[in-house]
Amino acid sequence: MTAPLVRALRGEVLPTPPVWFMRQAGRFLPEYRAIRAKATFEDLLYDSDLAAEVTLQPVRRFPKLDGAIIFSDILVILDALGCGVVIPEGGPRLTTTLDQIDPDILLDEKVFDSVQAALRKVRAALPPEKALLGFAGAPWTLLAYGLEGKGSKNWVRAKAYLHQEPVKARKWLDRLADAAARLLNLHIAAGAQGVQLFDTWAGELDREDFTEFALPAAERTLAQVTDAPRLYFPRGILPANLASLSCEGFAVSWQVPMAEARDLFPGKVLQGNLDPTSLLAGEAVAVRKARAIVETMKGRAHVFNLGHGLLPETDPAVLGAVIDAVKG
C-alpha cells in the first residue's frame, strides 16, 4: 500500500490530511530526554541505533501520526565539507568556517553513513502505512551557518558576504546545493519516501537577495532530486516567484496565512502551518487553530504540520489532542 502521507505529497486530496511535525523527535518527549541523559547530541547523530530509536519514539507515542522524519541535523553537510561541527548545549559551532576552506574540497560522504543506516533501520521498523521522510539544509541556510560559524540573530557576516564576495558566494552556494542534493538522494536510496529542504534563514534576506542568491541555489538542489516528492521550506516567507520551483510542494511558515498560500500556489501541495506557540496556549486554543487550518485547505492536497518545529516546552497531551482533532 502507498502511505497516505506519500499520496498527499504526490498531490492527492485525502478526506483528512496526513500529519507529521517538524522536530517531532526531540526535547518535548520524556523518552527522548531519557536517552539524552545518557548520550550527547553527537552520539545520537552518529549512532544509527540511537538515531533510529529517537526517530521512532513519536510514532510509538502518537499512533495516528502518518510519518517519521529521520533524526539528523542540517549541519552534517558542513561537517562533511571539513567545518568541524560540534554541538554543545549552547548550540552548534564550527571549528573552521567556509571562507577558510577551498570550495573544491571533496565531500566526505562517510559522514552520511550513519544516517543512511538509521533510515534503513527505521524503514524496516515502520508499518507500510507510515511514511519515512529525509531532509537536508538548503544552500543559503548552510552558507549562513558556514560563514558565521555559529547561530546568529541577524546573520550580518553571511548577508554581507553575498555582496562583498559575490563570485565566491555563488561558488559556495553551488557547492552546497550539490552536496544537499547528494544527501537527499542518499536518504531516498536508504528508504526515505519524501524529502524536505529546510531554508531556515530564507526570511532573513530581502526579496532581491533571496531571488538572486538563495532561490537559484535551492532550485539547483531540488532539480537534482527526482525519485521522491520534494518539499521546500523557506521559513518566514513564501513569495510568488516560487511557483516554478522544482518541487511538489511547500512547507508554509506560521507567518504566512494558509489561505494566501493556497491562492498563490494552486498547483502545489501545501504543508502546515500551526504556530508552534499555539500548543503552549493550551488544548482549546491549539485545537481551534488546527481545525481552522484544515478547513481552509479542504479540497486541496494538504499535509498538516506546524509552521516550524515543536518547542521543548510542548505538552505531549496537547499535541495528541491536536492530532486527534485533525484526524477526526
For range 147-167, the mean pLDDT: 94
pLDDT digits (tens, 9 = 90+) for 192-247: 999 999 999 999 999 999 999 999 999 999 999 999 999 999 999 999 999 999 99
Going by DSSP bridges, is the β-strand pair 249-251/93-94 parallel, antiparallel, or unpaired?
Answer: unpaired
| Helix then strand then coil, % of the chain, to nearest 5 | 50, 10, 40
Report the C-alpha gap between 260 and 240 in whole angstroms: 10
Considering the candidates 23, 175, 262, 300, report the single residue annotated as catalytic.
Answer: 23
Number of domains forming the structure of the chain: 1
| Region for residue 16 given its phi and psi (left: phi exceeds 0; alpha: psi -120 to 50; beta: otherwise) | beta
Active-site annotation holds for 27: yes
Considering the candidates 32, 46, 123, 145, report the single residue annotated as catalytic.
Answer: 145
Active-site annotation holds for 36: yes
Q: 285 lies in which domain range?
A: 4-327
Active-site annotation holds for 145: yes
Q: What is the CATH number of the domain that holds 165?
A: 3.20.20.210
Considering the candidates 73, 79, 199, 275, report the single residue annotated as catalytic.
Answer: 73
Across 107-177, the runs of DSSP E, i.e. the strands, are 131-137
Going by DSSP bridges, is the β-strand pair 85-86/194-199 parallel, antiparallel, or unpaired?
Answer: unpaired
Considering the candidates 36, 93, 157, 170, report the single residue annotated as catalytic.
Answer: 36
Going by DSSP bridges, is the β-strand pair 249-251/269-271 parallel, antiparallel, or unpaired?
Answer: parallel
Q: What is the pLDDT of residue 43?
A: 92
pLDDT above 90 as % of the chain: 95
Give the dihedral sign, CA 141/199/21/113. negative
pLDDT digits (tens, 9 = 90+) for 263-308: 999 999 999 999 999 999 999 999 999 999 999 999 999 999 999 9
Q: Please, are residues 74 and 200 in contact by the beta-carbon 8 Å criterion? A: yes
* Residue 175 in this model has a pLDDT that exceeds 80: yes
